[in-house]
Amino acid sequence: MKEDRKTIGFVVIIAVICIGAIAAVMYTHPFGAPEEKINWNLTLIGTAEKVVTFDELKAMPSYEGYGGFFSTVGMINGPFKCKGVPVEDLCALVGGINGSYTLWVSAQDGYMMVFTYDQVKGNFVTYEPVTLKEVPHSPLKVILAYEQDGAPLSENDGRPLRLAIMSEDKLLTEGHYWIKWVDKIAIRAIKNQNKT
Amino acid sequence: MKTIHIAVLVLLIVAVVVSTVIYQQQEQEETKLKVIYAGSLIVPFEELEKQFESRHPGVDVQIEGHGSIQVIRQVTDIHKAVDVLAVADYSLIPDMMYATPSGEDYADWYVKFATNQMVLAYNNQSKYADEITESNWYEILARPDVTFGFSNPMLDSCGYRTLMVTQLAESYYDNQTIFDDLIACNFEPTISGTKEGDTYIVFVPEIFEPHAGKVVVRGGSVQLLALLEYGGLDYAFQYKSVAQQHGLRFVELPDQIDLSSTEYEDDYKKVIVRLGFQRFSAVDTERVGSPIFYAVTIPKNAPQPELAVAFVEFVIGEEGQKILGNLEQPSLVPAEGSGVVPFALEPF
């Protein structure tokens, strides 16, 4: 009987601690809030011009794969599982892209990168995530990602849209291609290269 | 027996909860100092962080490396709270942080505290490693069986400085084919060099692909170092500090072309690299040759301005300079201030 009381006492203590812990977690990490509506427009410029809302983009056929990147100083991020829309599919909405064109991807913060047609088709150097040794890869897909590891992108990861280079392998690519906060994609004819 | 198990479990839970609370309290009590630095400073700044923290209990120095332009953009475009920033090209601070076109004024001073120079890095496995010298490096690189690399001039200061070095080499060695042999003929579309009066203009097209096998271009030093290590490359243009910090052999280039000396400032200025697209809306596409000086500043909206001054004082003071020197990062003694330098830093 005495033994039982002791046991009950300990169980009560554990229960109180658990309830306290759960309450603390719920207080600091509230959940169950409705998903925030994302007001974001992506401008596509090709032979035509089109503005795609975030919801319209999310309704397009998606691709899911793995990939990560490393920074200038070799800091490794990922690999992550990302979901998004293939950039080639977005190009197709405004006339498509071929070898006579380059892809100019720009972001709300004033950052911009130019991609060759080969890169749009997935021609990048890939790196092994621990040693950063260059390694071969299965076909790569360039996507405009809106999900990372099953959750919407965080602000720091480029919410709501970030360029990502994906494949079935868990490999890395150079970080400067992973443009955050993408708001414009333009397909431009290659200029005469030798002008000064 | 059952009671003992439960008691142990309870004790464990209590220990975890108590240690978590203590840890969180400690974290809250620590003052955080955010320091962002140019990638080539990674080795000395990791040590500076450690040493500064050991002298300032309760301070957590949080360091983060980027390309120099990205360092400044963390403050000006991305609006992160940063206490100290250090860049590999001092001119970026006045260009990007002083009275910007948007009317914002992020800084009004900087202190030059370190220098560097361009070298050609290699290792014992590199072809002709025992033959290469300051006077024949460009001939060795041009040999068909030799591979070499440099970082992307669109992305990295070491990349556009490589183009400046190869162009300056033509005048120094009185050989008008060096740039063509090493750079222009190895790219499609080509990276071209033309002369306009006294000035050489190097034009980097918006896209450029090196011919397979001979030249390798990667985003930054990290990738080139890995290629050298794994035998994927014979030579790479690097900063001397980076080559030394990674235990590589290197060819020291003449002062007249290695962008190290104020004595040849006027010659360096004669090479301008024009980049094919504007990667950052806040920075133009022209890079003019100049001696390499690293500079440090404190943004006007730094969350910990007093501690930031103490950190800069530490970096440019005797102890900091010693740390830089021990880690092969040449320092500038005395440091050179420009603009409205905080009073506490004036003695340096």
Check if A127 contacts B (Cβ < 8 Å).
yes
A131 and A172 belong to one structural domain: yes
Residue A133, domain extent: 41-189
Residue B99 or B171, more confident: B171
- In a domain? residue A49: yes
A115 and A157 belong to one structural domain: yes
A27 and A112 belong to one structural domain: no
A107 and A145 belong to one structural domain: yes
- The minimal CB distance from B222 to the residues A109, A132, A196 is found for A132
A76 and A147 belong to one structural domain: yes
The CATH number that applies at residue A102 is: 3.90.420.10
pLDDT in tens, A16-34: 665 665 555 555 545 545 5
Check if A74 contacts B (Cβ < 8 Å).
yes
- In a domain? residue A194: no
Q: How many A/B residue pairs have CB atoms within 8 Å?
A: 114
- In a domain? residue A157: yes
Which two tokens mark A67?
């990939």
A100 and A173 belong to one structural domain: yes
- In a domain? residue A196: no
Which pLDDT band, with edges at 50, 70 and 90, does A194 fall under? very low
Alpha-carbon distance of A164 to A146, in angstroms, equals 10
A2 and A52 belong to one structural domain: no
A59 and A109 belong to one structural domain: yes
What average pLDDT does this structure show over A51-70?
96
Closest-CA residue in chain B for A114? B206
- In a domain? residue A195: no
Check if B260 contacts A (Cβ < 8 Å).
no
Yes or no, beta carbons of B219 and A21 under 8 Å apart? no
- In a domain? residue A53: yes
Whether the CA torsion B142, B143, B144, B148 is positive or negative: it is negative
Alpha-carbon distance of B66 to B347, in angstroms, equals 30
Residue A178, CA distances (Å) to A43, A67, A163, B161, B253 in order: 18, 11, 5, 25, 35
> Which residues of chain B does A71 touch, with a Cβ-Cβ cutoff of 8 Å?
65-66
> Which residues of chain A does B2 touch, with a Cβ-Cβ cutoff of 8 Å?
7
A147 and A131 belong to one structural domain: yes
- In a domain? residue A82: yes
Question: How close does chain A come to B138, measured CA to CA in Å?
Answer: 24
Alpha-carbon distance of B221 to A74, in angstroms, equals 9
A93 and A138 belong to one structural domain: yes
pLDDT in tens, A86-121: 999 999 999 999 999 999 999 998 888 999 999 999
Yes or no, beta carbons of A193 and B189 under 8 Å apart? yes
Which pLDDT band, with edges at 50, 70 and 90, does A181 fall under? very high
- In a domain? residue A151: yes
Alpha-carbon distance of B24 to B18, in angstroms, equals 10
E strands present in chain B: 31-38, 59-66, 84-87, 109-115, 118-122, 148-151, 187-188, 192-196, 199-204, 209-210, 215-218, 235-239, 249-252, 271-275, 286-288, 293-297, 331-339
Number of structural domains chain A divides into: 2
A64 and A9 belong to one structural domain: no
Domains of chain B: 2-115+293-345 (3.40.190.10), 118-288 (3.40.190.10)
A141 and A175 belong to one structural domain: yes
